[in-house]
Amino acid sequence: MRVSVLLSVLLGAALALPAALPAQDLRQSVETYVGATQKEILSKLMAALRFPAVAADEVNIRRKARYLRDELAQRGLISEILETNGNPLVYGNLSVPGASRTLLLYCHYDGQPVDPAKWRQADPFQPVMMDGQLSHDSQLIDFESAESFDDDWRIYARSASDDTAPIIGLLTALDALKAAGIPLSSNIKVILDGEEEDGSPSLVAAIERYRDRLDADLLLIFDGPLHQSDRPTVVFGARGIMAVDLTVFGPWAPLHSGHYGNWAPNPAMQLAQLLASMKDAEGRVLLEGFYDGIEFTPDDQRVLDAVPDNLEKLKTVLGFSQPDRVGNSLQEAIQYPSLNIRGLESGWVGAEARTIVPGRAIAAIDIRLVKETKPDDIYAKLITHIERQGFHIVAEDPDDVVRAEHGRIVKVIRRGSMNAYRTDLNNPLARRVVAAINAVWDGPIVQKRTSGGTVPIAPFIEALDIPALGIPTVNFDNNQHGPDENVRLGHFFDSIVTFAAIFTM
Amino acid sequence: MRVSVLLSVLLGAALALPAALPAQDLRQSVETYVGATQKEILSKLMAALRFPAVAADEVNIRRKARYLRDELAQRGLISEILETNGNPLVYGNLSVPGASRTLLLYCHYDGQPVDPAKWRQADPFQPVMMDGQLSHDSQLIDFESAESFDDDWRIYARSASDDTAPIIGLLTALDALKAAGIPLSSNIKVILDGEEEDGSPSLVAAIERYRDRLDADLLLIFDGPLHQSDRPTVVFGARGIMAVDLTVFGPWAPLHSGHYGNWAPNPAMQLAQLLASMKDAEGRVLLEGFYDGIEFTPDDQRVLDAVPDNLEKLKTVLGFSQPDRVGNSLQEAIQYPSLNIRGLESGWVGAEARTIVPGRAIAAIDIRLVKETKPDDIYAKLITHIERQGFHIVAEDPDDVVRAEHGRIVKVIRRGSMNAYRTDLNNPLARRVVAAINAVWDGPIVQKRTSGGTVPIAPFIEALDIPALGIPTVNFDNNQHGPDENVRLGHFFDSIVTFAAIFTM
């Protein structure tokens, strides 16, 4: 029994739940449909990319929202625009006869703001197709005259991969299944966010207003790139975040380091000593209880070990040889909360340097949270640690009285925080998704117990209180958030297969 | 015997060398002269302030140089312009019949550059007289119609106190002595620097060219403000300086702190740990042998203890309550070398903060040197300490090979250094100067064994290889180097008495 559970975890096999159709037949059906309608599908994707839909552009956001609502309606979904405190949500609902479960699919239809001067194409909202990655050798494809489309070709446009391709991909998966006469096994609800790149500020509040429409058994987030190995990927969680600013105070104003050096206390040194006290030489956090409650089951461990990270190559590419030793691998490391100095500032360096004892020294810190670590608790541990280092903690810059009474003074400002989320690796519905993707691609997929970064959808997941999985599909080198964002056609085509497998699992 | 030496040190009394004239008679003679010619003296000072003589302004520097050469000549000095690699020196030589020693007087005739927009007056090179410190209440004095001049009045102009007033002061002291028929006891040589505010880059090289003209028994530096207590002040030395930049390297470029935090090494944390290792919690440097060779004789200790620093008030004004514990007082602290973090920079803080593991972290350090500590030796100790912390030291940014081979990498760049200088407290000629000033002002003067800051004249002193003393005379609140530089008239008038006492000691 134990062995079979382990095998099922490792291979992502569903437990005694055969797929409605042999996976390879499904794949062949969908790929046949996609092969026959490539140009039409790509036309739709490029049409959706022509809206300059950044969250701040209300007019074009609403144009794209209406366009996508109509696309949902054309596929038989009851679709509507849901108003929120900000940009509207696009909603669709497809009831499937006999389905005993409901999948809620989340994508976002807004894209990152653009700096057109940094793009190679004139207009990031006029998609162009290239015969490969942008380089001196890559050629522009004349889409109108092209008859077939190579997997290595790419479409360049803002929101191409983040996150318009998955929206068109899921619509196409519905088309492909319909064309092949393959029934869906789940009810499908679709929710498209118009503010994700702005941090989804209106999403949680919208749940109260539209809770009935959002009821589901599993939330699937169609966003993000595949693991670097390019294997199909399922993500079970994401770390949360909390930011803290520390300011240590020395003299009121910078002092002449000759007249006062050795006598006036140096806030940069005090800050260095405070920060140094927080980690050991191998990067492990020394705050008491920082890692409390974190442990891996053997199943967890096997999932972590199975991720095909090429750490030697990664270290070379990133430029270091000695990683921190929180856990024994990158995957283990991101299962733990982190404490990261993201910024330091005091006095001046380089050509601006002057011979002073600085008046203050600032460290900007981010703390990544995992499901076991709650922001309030970690913050309390941080405060305790700072106090134990002999610092007096203030919330405002100290006045004469505070300065006269305390030797070491630090202002601690807690910025916003966002919780982690993590779905149980053994959640039955999650296992079914893993099994379906695994079967359709005929090989072990990458299961990420937690991704290291923080996603603005985490509060939405928390408020919905249902299991959630990330299903990334686009190419890793998509230049997400930067200039020259793109989606590789092969990844886009494959996403249609992946989505079809989920819809019929 | 021991007691009498101590007394002489404490009181600044000369040992069995009676002044040529009772000190109070000398003072009265000079003050009578100054009182009778106030307007003429102040006119001369204001005339000298009208040259926009900043080091970069060659034309006006030379105009002021010629003006001052002529002023020296009018007082019987053999005077000339000495060309250097940069701005010229103004030189004067007065042979005194029967004098057995020669004093070399150093001042500088250039001033700091100005930012006129930050001054209250329209033109920092058009001196204005005010009836006190600049404030809403202080009134402009109509110099032309004024008959007498209050000690609290001030002249505002660039270089007023730094360092034109002492030049006019020493010329006036010669005038006063001549008018009163009081003979000088020393030959006088005057050297006026035109590049001090630019670091005196041409001064040392000029020694080789003009060594015969510069032969002397004692160098006196007429520059700088009195001790805060406003007592007459003699300075026996100044700390030197060496600057070092440390750059610790993490990944090639900033990395996403979510994806890589806990795994990618953080250079800001490594830098914090390196810096923290350099000092204990009370600010004492932990580099092995950093304080080697520094000890105070009982005479030293008494001179240090006699400086009337009001440390409680100073701490309140400066804004801290717990000074570093290198020595037991400010005066003791500056007898030791210091290691000061003058700047920190890594990633971003405040509104610019972003969630990254920084690619590098920089600390700018200055190390103040004392006579016992040589730059090469201290630098070697720093390097040893850094290596002991497990860092690989590089001189250039590391490439892939270096990054692959070493876990902790720091680039160490040594910037220019300048030695300390210190004249023996018991040097007989120095004691005679102390005694003369002490006698004319009828009270214990402040003897600073070392001033904390570094003076660009130190290499000049070293190259001349003669004892040197600083004789500061201007008010402490003169806004030296900043906008609204000024000299208080009372301090200027008193400087004439002080200089006369030295010339006749």
pLDDT of residue A262: 94
Chain B residue numbers touching A318 (CB-CB < 8 A): 251-252, 255, 260, 264
CA distance from start to end of chain A: 24
Tokens found for residue B186: 């020393």
Say if A419 is an interface residue toward chain B (CB within 8 Å): no
How far, in Å, are A362, B23, B284, B285, B287 from residue B327 at the CA level?
A: 28, 37, 9, 12, 17
Q: A355 and B366 in contact by Cβ < 8 A? A: yes
Give the distance from residue A302's alpha carbon to the nearest chain B alpha carbon, in angstroms: 19
> B258, A368: Cβ pair inside 8 Å?
yes
Q: B251, A277: Cβ pair inside 8 Å? A: no
**In sequence order, which residues have a C-beta less than 8 Å from that of residue A120 and are 6 or more positions away?**
A134, A156, A483, A484
pLDDT band at A20 (very low <50, low <70, confident <90, very high): low
Walk along chain B (505 residues) and give the pLDDT tens digit of each residue. Answer: 344 444 444 444 444 344 467 999 999 999 999 999 999 999 999 999 999 999 999 999 999 999 999 999 999 999 999 999 999 999 999 999 999 999 999 999 999 999 999 999 999 999 999 999 887 788 999 999 999 999 999 999 999 999 999 999 999 999 999 999 999 999 999 999 999 999 899 999 999 999 999 999 999 999 999 999 999 999 999 999 999 999 999 999 999 999 999 999 999 999 999 999 999 999 999 999 999 999 999 999 999 999 999 999 999 999 999 999 999 999 999 999 999 999 999 999 999 898 999 999 999 999 999 999 999 999 999 999 999 999 999 999 999 999 999 999 999 999 988 999 999 999 999 999 999 999 999 978 999 999 998 888 999 999 999 999 999 999 999 998 899 999 999 999 999 999 999 999 9
Of A253, A266, A278, which is closest to B340 when you measure between CB atoms?
A266
How far is B357 from B373, CA to CA, in rounded Å? 38
Instruction: Report the distance separating Cα A406 and Cα A47, nearest Å.
Output: 64
Which structure tokens are listed for A268? Answer: 């940069």
Query: Closest Cα of chain B to A154: distance in Å?
Result: 25
Nearest to B404 among A252, A316, A451 (CB): A316
The whole-angstrom distance between B212's CA and the closest CA on chain A is: 34
Nearest to B194 by CA among B314, B83, B316: B83
Nearest-Cα distance to chain A for B66, in Å, is 34
Residue of A252, A262, A284 for testing the chain B interface, max B β-carbons within 10 Å: A262
The Cα A287–Cα A386 span in angstroms is 9
Q: Report phi then psi at A105, rounded to 5.
A: -100, 125
Q: What residue in B sits closest to A276 (Cα-Cα)?
A: B273
The reply to whether B368 touches chain A by the CB within 8 Å rule is yes
pLDDT in tens, A335-375: 999 999 999 999 999 998 989 999 999 999 999 999 999 99
Q: Is A470 on the interface with B (CB under 8 A)?
A: no
Chain B residues touching residue A249 (CB < 8 angstroms): 319-320
Interface of A with B in 206-235 (CB under 8 A): none
Assembly ipTM: 0.89
The answer to whether B276 contacts A279, with C-beta atoms less than 8 Å apart, is no
SS3 call for B104 = strand
Tokens of B140: 């402009």
- Concatenating the DSSP letter of every residue in A208-239 gives HHHHHHH--SEEEE--SBPPTT---EEE-EE-
Nearest chain B Cα distance for residue A321, angstroms: 5
- Using a CB-CB cut-off of 8 Å, the residues of chain B touching A271 are 272, 344
A453 at B interface, C-beta within 8 A: yes
Q: Does B265 touch chain A (CB under 8 A)?
A: yes
| Closest A-chain CA to B243 | A355
Interface contact flag, A362 B350, Cβ < 8 Å: yes
Measured distance between the N- and C-terminal CA atoms of chain B, rounded to whole angstroms: 24
Q: Which among A345, A348, A352 is the nearest to B349, CB-wise?
A: A345
**Interface test mutation site (partner B, options A271, A279, A341, A451, max chain B beta carbons within 10 A):** A341
pLDDT number for residue A371: 95
B contacts of A408 (beta carbons < 8 Å): 322
Asked if A357 lies within 8 A of B342 by C-beta distance, the reply is: yes
Q: What is the pLDDT of residue B14?
A: 41
Q: Which residue did the predictor score with more confidence, A11 or A125?
A: A125
> A7 pLDDT band (50/70/90 cuts)?
very low
Determine the distance in angstroms separating the CA of A196 from the nearest CA of chain B, rounded to an integer. 17
Residues of A in contact with B241 (CB under 8 A): 258, 355
A480 inside 8 A of chain B by CB? no
- Is B145 in the A-facing interface, judged by CB distances under 8 Å? no
Could B349 and A363 be called an inter-chain contact, meaning their C-beta atoms sit closer than 8 Å? yes
Centroid of chain to Cα A122? 28
Pairwise CB contact (< 8 Å): A283 & B265: yes
Contact at 8 Å (CB) between B197 and B482? no
Q: Which amino acid is at B420?
A: A
Q: Do A320 and B344 touch (CB under 8 A)?
A: no
DSSP string, A94-141: E--TT---EEEEEEE--B----GGGSSSS-TTS-EEESSSSSSS--B-
Taking CA atoms, what residue in A is nearest to B279?
A269
pLDDT value at residue B299: 94
Q: Which of B269, B307, B397 to mutate to test the interface with A (most CBs of A within 10 A)?
A: B269
From the number of C-beta atoms within 10 Å of its C-beta (0-12, 13-18, 19+), residue A148 rates as exposed
A250 contacts in chain B (CB < 8 Å): 319-320
Pairing label, strands A468-470, A218-221: parallel
Give me the domains of chain B, ranges plus CATH numbers: 2-238+420-503 (3.40.630.10), 240-294+336-414 (3.30.70.360)
B99 touches A: beta carbon within 8 Å: no
For residue A410, the SS3 value is strand
CA distance B89 to chain A (A): 27
B406 inside 8 A of chain A by CB:
yes
This prediction has a pTM of 0.89
Q: What percent of chain A has pLDDT over 70?
A: 96
CA distance to A410, B64, B328, per residue, from B342 (Å): 18, 36, 23
Residues of B in contact with A354 (CB under 8 A): 342
pLDDT at A21: 78
Contact A344 B349 (CB under 8 A): yes
Q: Find, in chain B, the residue whose alpha carbon is nearest to that of A406.
A: B321
Name the burial class of residue A350, with classes exposed (0-12), middle (13-18) and buried (19+) by CB atoms within 10 angstroms of its CB.
Answer: exposed
Residue A3 has pLDDT above 90, yes or no: no
Q: How much is the pLDDT for A9?
A: 47
